[in-house]
Amino acid sequence: MAIEVEVNMRIPGLTLKAPNEADRVINNSYVRFTKLIQVPAIPKPGTPLSLTTSAGHQFESTVTRADWSEDRELFIVSCNYSKRSISPAEYDALVNDAEWKMKQLI
């Protein structure tokens, strides 16, 4: 039986380079991306978790914790993007995906 959980993912910052413009640095320290997904069981900390966007990008994350939310009556699975950097294409796919929500922490 599948369980619905909310993924709360932290991604690294990135620098967007354009030929005729100054480099643009995007700091994601205070941003999380969230999405509801179905999992066969609640993932444990340290477990890899495969995630996708509706555009077909697939990427890996690593679970850092899983907490029960009484208010929402579901588990919130916190995770980190598994690579040290995120490509501009993957970043655009996350930002422009209707299923992924960008959440400001401040």
Residue 20: predicted pLDDT = 87
Residue 57: predicted pLDDT = 87
pLDDT in tens, 18-69: 888 888 899 999 999 999 999 999 999 999 999 999 988 899 999 999 999 9
Mean pLDDT across the chain: 94
Residue 17: predicted pLDDT = 84
**Rounded to whole angstroms, how far apart are CA atoms 46 and 83?**
14
State what percent of residues in the chain have pLDDT above 90. Answer: 80
Using CA atoms, how far residue 24 sits from 7, 14, 18, 96, in Å, is: 27, 8, 8, 18
How would you list the strands of the sheet with 58-69, edge to edge? 48-52, 58-69, 74-81, 3-10, 31-39, 101-104
Structural domain spans, the chain: 3-104
**Rounded to whole angstroms, how far apart are CA atoms 64 and 10?**
10
Q: What is the pTM of this model?
A: 0.89
